[in-house]
Amino acid sequence: MSQYIVKRLLLTIPTLFGAAILVFFLMRLIPGDICELRLAGTGGYFDETALKICQHEIGIDQPIITQLGQYLSGLATFNFGNSMWTGRPIVQEISLRFELSLMIAILATVTATIFAIPLGTIAAIKQDTWIDYVVRSFSIAGIAIPSFWFGILIIFGILFSTQWWTGIPWMPPIQYRSSWMSWDNISNNLALLIWPAVATGYRYSAVATRMTRSAMLEVLREDYIRTARAKGLVEQLIIRRHSLKNAMLPVVTVIGLEFAFLMGGLVVTEQVFNLNGLGKLFVESVTNYDYTMTQALVMVVVAVFVFTNFVIDVFYAWLDPRIRYK
Amino acid sequence: MAAISEVAVEANFEDLSDKKPLGRVVLQLMRRKPLGTAGAMIVIIMILMAIFANFLTPYDPVANSFAAMTVAPGWEHWLGTDQFGRDLLARIIYGARTALFVGFTSSIIGATTGLVLGVGSAYFGGRIDLIFQRVMDIFMAFPLIIMALAVVSIFGTGAQNVIIAITIPFIPRCARVVRSSALAIREVPYIDAARANGFSHARIILRHMVPNVMAPYLIMITSFVGQAILLEASLSYLGLGVQEPTPAWGLMLQGGAEEYALSAPWMAIFPGVAISLAVFGFNLFGDAVRDVLDPRLRSR
């Protein structure tokens, strides 16, 4: 087992390395640079020497190989450096926003899982009844509805219902409080996070529901389920202990994969709810030619993705010994 | 010698394919797959909408009309107008063109590139396959939005660049699925026979392997179209996709939909319905195609 884990862990290195190289060159392919943007922002004419000084200060006048070397050695020692745009340490800038995005992602995952597993299981047990059809339409709709539009509809719902109820349209807060210590902060943060979580969670739960349903259907046809029935086991025990456990493997995979995609996909939802999370920082850093920030952000998202995949694979190998010995 | 064996193979395929009239096959499929038929209907309506857009609406989807700003849905404008006085129905009908164009082009280009790369990787195997898989991993892990942002920053906005941005993440997904099917085919004796005949790599890949992985390829294309429409809408909504005044559904949601939430909610509702219905249709159709083409999933 430990040999498998080490082997699998080593396989993540080329992916991380490749993504680092890719974002490095992708950013430098974009015409223009941060200094031109900055000096253009001061208005009107700017001279070549000011541009040269600025480029020298930031270090983008050095040969590309030197820059790449500095960047990669920084990555290897987890030293991301300072943001080119704000000048503040990247770790500090990201950690402020990472928490908000992570909270939305976690809440969305929790909401999705709470709905998906029972719904998918019921739909599989009651296959081809009206319950199955309702669950299936719920999940097919969830995959078709764009999450940003669902977010807009949620905002509409809140606006209209509060307008009708109290006469004044009310909007959820947009300021995230990083401390969860007082009741006031907790209610503020929940009121802030729950709507984006639901907006992204619907699609997520639709995917997981479909997977639970089809995995359960497959397991319910297995011989050992027939055996369990034949020996007179209570139906509830068959479902819970014998079927659900075996059907969970693909479901866990889908939940994990969607979680990994969620971190990168929050850009749109944050835009809808006007939240200052990782997604917004992403868009800002690319449009500001903030190379160091974009590189760090891409590495965070790719690392979350690669790590989630790694955990899924290890989990699989732990559950199913055949994978380990392949 | 080579020519004779080729002819023989083709003749065999002729015998195997059933000769039922097309109309009856379609009717049979419709009865067996009611949901897929509904999806196909939506897709066909959308295609017709895109083709005959000029005849379906008297309004210009681009021209502003300051006499008719944010008009509520009614006889004059069935779905109302936006803040520039443009008829929403007209913009939705013309928007089908943008959605279908981006959807079909990016999924066909993405899946076809993935097909060739996936089969090639499986055929050559060994070190090439290993390196290829790592490269695909990188593209799978790379956030789509960043790719799109970079593509748009490098080449500028517009439909072609949206297609580039959407195509890139499709390639590794299709390549992966196709590769796993192609790996099984590589071991089949007729590939050995083709190799023994001294056929070139390109010929074996294109004439002997590619036709045998058509099922996963077609499944991937149909499932990509819906996703591509959704991605195009998201990118346009973020301002990274198609630009004004081109009628596009995602763009219609961006243009002040939230500012007019209380005064003109129809502006934000109908384009979203259009996106959802289109994706819904393609997904249902894609599911049916998958069920028909992939016998292992047929019973589910």
Q: How confident is the model at residue B1 (pLDDT cuts 50, 70, 90)?
A: very low
Question: What is the structure's pLDDT at A325?
Answer: 62
Q: How confident is the model at residue B107 (pLDDT cuts 50, 70, 90)?
A: very high
Q: Position B157: which residue type?
A: T
pLDDT for residue A109 is more than 70: yes
Question: Quick one: average pLDDT of A313-323?
Answer: 75
Question: Quick one: average pLDDT of B107-121?
Answer: 92
Longest alpha-carbon distance in chain B: 77
Question: What is the structure's pLDDT at A45?
Answer: 65
Q: How confident is the model at residue B275 (pLDDT cuts 50, 70, 90)?
A: very high
**How does pLDDT run across B180-204, given as a tens digit for each residue?**
888 888 888 888 899 899 999 889 9
Residues 1-30 of A with CB under 8 A from B: 14-15, 18-19, 22-23, 26-27, 29-30
Question: What is the structure's pLDDT at B32?
Answer: 77
Which one of B149, B157, B238, B280 makes the best mutation probe of the A interface by having the most chain A beta carbons within 10 Å?
Answer: B149
Q: Is B234 on the interface with A (CB under 8 A)?
A: yes
Residues 136-155 of A with CB under 8 A from B: 140-141, 143-146, 148-149, 152-153, 155
**How does pLDDT run across A75-88, given as a tens digit for each residue?**
888 777 777 777 78
Flag if A152 and B253 touch (Cβ within 8 Å).
yes
- Least confident among A116-125, A275-284, B226-235: A275-284
Question: What is the structure's pLDDT at B3?
Answer: 47
Residues 254-283 of A with CB under 8 A from B: 264-265, 267-268, 271-272, 279, 282-283
Spatial distance between the Cα atoms of A34 and A55, rounded to a whole number of angstroms: 8
pTM of the entire predicted model: 0.83
Token digits of residue B256: 């002040």
User: For A156, which of B226, B265, B280 is closest by C-beta distance?
Assistant: B265
**How does pLDDT run across A292-309, given as a tens digit for each residue?**
888 888 888 888 888 888
- Nearest chain A residue to B273 by CA distance is A145
| DSSP-assigned states of every residue in A75-139 | HHTT---B-TTT-SBHHHHHHHHHHHHHHHHHHHHHHHHHHHHHHHHHHHHTTTSHHHHHHHHHH
Token digits of residue A172: 């959820």
Question: What is the structure's pLDDT at A175?
Answer: 73
Taking each helix axis from N to C end, the angle separating B159-186 and B214-237, rounded to the nearest 10 degrees, works out to: 160
Q: How confident is the model at residue B161 (pLDDT cuts 50, 70, 90)?
A: confident
Q: How confident is the model at residue A190 (pLDDT cuts 50, 70, 90)?
A: confident
Spatial distance between the Cα atoms of B135 and A182, rounded to a whole number of angstroms: 47
Residues 208-227 of A with CB under 8 A from B: 214, 217-218
Question: What is the structure's pLDDT at B156?
Answer: 76
Q: How confident is the model at residue B62 (pLDDT cuts 50, 70, 90)?
A: confident
pLDDT for residue A228 is more than 80: yes
Across the A:B interface, residue pairs with CB atoms under 8 Å apart total 132
Flag if B142 and A160 touch (Cβ within 8 Å).
no
Question: How far out from the chain centre does Cα A321 lie?
Answer: 29
Evaluate the omega torsion of the peptide bond into residue B245 and state whether it is cis, within 30 degrees of 0: yes
pLDDT for residue A237 is more than 90: no
Question: What is the structure's pLDDT at B5?
Answer: 47
Question: Quick one: average pLDDT of A233-238?
Answer: 85
A280: alpha, beta or left, given left = phi > 0 and alpha = psi -120 to 50? alpha
CA angle, corner A97, sides to A298 and B257, nearest 5?
A: 90
CA angle, corner B158, sides to B64 and A85, nearest 5?
A: 105
Q: Position A29: which residue type?
A: L
CB A223, CB A195: distance < 8 Å: no
Spatial distance between the Cα atoms of B131 and B133, rounded to a whole number of angstroms: 5
Task: Judge residue B83's burial from the number of C-beta atoms within 10 Å of its C-beta, 0-12 exposed, 13-18 middle, 19 or more buried.
Answer: middle
pLDDT for residue A326 is more than 70: no
Q: Nearest CA to A319 among A234, A218, A236, A246?
A: A246
Spatial distance between the Cα atoms of A108 and A194, rounded to a whole number of angstroms: 8
**How does pLDDT run across A95-105, given as a tens digit for each residue?**
878 888 888 88
Question: What is the structure's pLDDT at B300?
Answer: 39
Q: Nearest CA to A180 among A111, A106, A100, A108?
A: A100
Spatial distance between the Cα atoms of B3 and B6, rounded to a whole number of angstroms: 5
CA angle, corner B171, sides to B167 and B177, nearest 5?
A: 140
Question: What is the structure's pLDDT at B276?
Answer: 92
Mean pLDDT of chain A: 82
Q: How confident is the model at residue A46 (pLDDT cuts 50, 70, 90)?
A: low
